[in-house]
Chains A and B, each alone.
Chain A
Amino acid sequence: MNAVLSSTRVEHSTAEPLLSIQKVEKRFAKRAVLCGISLDVASGEFLTILGESGSGKTTLLRLIAGFEQLDAGEIWMGRERLDEIPAYRRQVNTVFQSYAIFPHLSVFENVAYGLKAKNAPRNEIPERVTQALAMVKMSEFTQSAPSRLSGGQQQRVALARALVNRPRVLLLDEPLSALDANLRRQMQIELKSLQREVGITFIFVTHDQEEAMALSDRIALLRSGRLEQVAEPREIYGHPRTAYVAQFIGQTNLLRAEVHDGVATAGAIAWPSAGPSGPALFSLRPEAIRLASAAPANPTGATANFHGHIRNQTFGGAMDLLEIDCGNSQAIRARVSSPGTLSGQQKFEFNAADAVRVQEGSET
């Protein structure tokens, strides 16, 4: 297991990280907001910092942008110590949650602001601004006043205003949270393709785990100022490190089990488990459970099955959500492809490998 981990780590470190956050700590008054955050971001990566409100994700972003001073630790960009230079000298741009469009300047002037501030050649400015506005499909609003734009349009201007400077890292602070659901999905898709197009490293802050999974190359899950897990979306979903991660990302059943001689037992359910003996916590995704009758005759790998009473069935279109009472203290939730109305006792099964052993998670 360790050998596998270290080999992947070597793979990651072949290219020097673009941004390196090392043991960063931040306190507000006496409250610790970030406690020893270390995180490397590769060039061209789409990294999402995911966490609940108050987890410190925005603070981490503000430290990288330079709006806050860190209390301990270092932030490096390449060979440059980023945390020691003022915000206006960092090759980092931010898309603010509230857009922060200058209300007294036109859309064009807003986008040109950074170029003028950095004394870009005068004759280049109009062309670069036009390009940036075209990229976010805002060409027709070049001369508009920001007050005439909708939230989504302001968002696009904010994006163009940041990208026009060709930053090495683009920081996005919950940029989509103020948009309605449809626009939000559309912007997610555009944002992702835009990131591929420009090849700039994106650090994206959100509290929305679905958004994080849809967009990111990697997700860094932050909890109370500590990194709970940093991994690719599939990895973090399929192999959550802790119970908190399992519950925060997607839905899950947490099974408190006793492992003995390669068999884990949680109440009426038992399945083969290779891990060390003793009490253990397992995460079993609802969609990993299926009706035994619908299962293929010869499933690969070890399977486990159990009987349970259907307590509740919620119709969900393609997939129904079942609440199954199998004698344990908590009901098991299963997501099965529309089985028709079920009732009474049913037999369920799941692949033993889908029951993922997780750590309790530090409560500090």
Chain B
Amino acid sequence: MYSRTYKAGVTIPPLLWVTAFLLVPYAILFCYSFWSVSSLQVVVHNWNLQNYAQLFRNPLYLTVLLRSIRIAGAVTLLALLLGYPLAYYLSFHAAKRKDLLYQLVIIPLWASYLVRGYAWKTILGSDGVLNGFLQYLHITHRPVEFFLYSPFAVILTLTHIYTPFTFLPIYASLEHVPRNLVEASHDLGASPFSTFLRVILPLSLPGILAGATFAFVLTLGDFLAPLLVGGPSGIMISNIVVSLFGAAYNWPLGAAISFFMLLLVVTLLSITERIEKRFTIS
């Protein structure tokens, strides 16, 4: 069909791009992860597995890694709990309000991530909107410090930021549930609740998985929210990578952690993709 020049013209530029900006940097990073830093703060090319060993031996890294996974899990759960009912309502019951509500869900995505992060800082801080409101109502007498600079603040901020990402694939999958299947279920004597459990939920599972994967993976790699609202107790694994490449000047260890995270995410993606395929019905 297409000429050889056309095929080359459309495949070579993206291939070059991917090679130059993805494959080569990853290869370099991969090499770095097996090197080490000398006492003179110079990277020396003596190949070893020390960096990977340290990731599991150093309790600091392990703690932060586990915390990151916990935070990612919490954000995923909250984003699903918020996103699914919203998507369900929009898809099945919103009728005329559908387009408007859909836009309202999407609009926050137009605002910069940083702006949304700072907004939460303003809301949760000791002089923030939330504390001011609570004191005005005489519910608290002193600012509650716990709101800001805590894992709680990170979870809240990231849930706010990533819920639309969870909502979108769920909404898409619900829109694809044939309505006559819902009618068929009622027709066969299943109540609306039973219909939801036995028809709608299973058929929207691919969307749930896609949404959950978005929320989990994006949260796991996030470093801005912990930086803005996390404080020392809200540090996540990406913050450690950032500092290892920056102030700590330990690129080899940073590279090892990065690679471990990459492996984690790729494994997760391949698992969810496989499950998604099993539940996607042509």
Q: Is B99 an interface residue (CB 8 A)?
A: no
Q: Are B281 and A117 in contact (CB under 8 A)?
A: no
Q: Are B203 and A104 in contact (CB under 8 A)?
A: yes
Q: Which residue of B lies closest to A112 (CB)?
A: B188
Q: Which residues of A58-108 have CB atoms within 8 Å of chain B's CB atoms?
A: 65-67, 86-89, 92-94, 96, 98, 100, 102-104
Q: Which residues of A contact B224 (CB under 8 A)?
A: none
* Secondary structure dominating the interface of A: mixed
Q: Are A117 and B189 in contact (CB under 8 A)?
A: yes
Q: How far is the CB of B277 from chain A (nearest CB, A)?
A: 13
Q: Are A102 and B199 in contact (CB under 8 A)?
A: yes
1/0 contact trace for A101-132 toward B, CB 8 Å? Answer: 01110000000011001100000000000000
Q: Is A165 an interface residue (CB 8 A)?
A: yes
Q: Which of B105-113, B175-183, B225-233 contacts the other chain?
A: B175-183
Q: Which residues of B contact A88 (CB under 8 A)?
A: 185-192, 195
1/0 contact trace for B129-155 toward A, CB 8 Å? Answer: 000000000000000000000000000
CA A114 to CA B199, docked complex, whole Å: 13
Q: Is B92 an interface residue (CB 8 A)?
A: no
Q: Are B188 and A117 in contact (CB under 8 A)?
A: yes
Q: Are A165 and B188 in contact (CB under 8 A)?
A: yes
1/0 contact trace for A232-272 toward B, CB 8 Å? Answer: 00000000000000000000000000000000000000000
Q: How many A-B Cβ pairs are below 8 Å?
A: 71
* Secondary structure dominating the interface of B: helix
Q: Which residues of B contact A66 (CB under 8 A)?
A: 186-187
Q: Are B203 and A65 in contact (CB under 8 A)?
A: no
Known: A88-B190, A104-B202, A165-B188. A67 touches B281 (CB 8 A): no
Contact of A104 among B184, B186, B188, B281 (CB under 8 A): B281
Q: How large is the interface on A (under 10, 10 to 19, 20 to 34, 35 or more residues)?
A: 20 to 34
Contact of B279 among A96, A98, A104 (CB under 8 A): A104
Q: Which residues of B contact A165 (CB under 8 A)?
A: 188-189
Q: Is A223 an interface residue (CB 8 A)?
A: no
Q: Is A207 an interface residue (CB 8 A)?
A: no
Q: Are B183 and A117 in contact (CB under 8 A)?
A: no
CA A96 to CA B188, docked complex, whole Å: 12
CA A98 to CA B199, docked complex, whole Å: 17
CA A100 to CA B188, docked complex, whole Å: 12
A-B contact pairs, 29 of them (CB 8 A): A66-B186, A67-B183, A67-B186, A67-B187, A87-B186, A87-B187, A88-B185, A88-B190, A89-B189, A94-B183, A94-B187, A96-B183, A98-B180, A100-B183, A100-B184, A102-B181, A102-B199, A103-B181, A103-B203, A104-B202, A104-B203, A104-B279, A113-B185, A113-B188, A113-B198, A117-B189, A117-B190, A117-B198, A162-B188
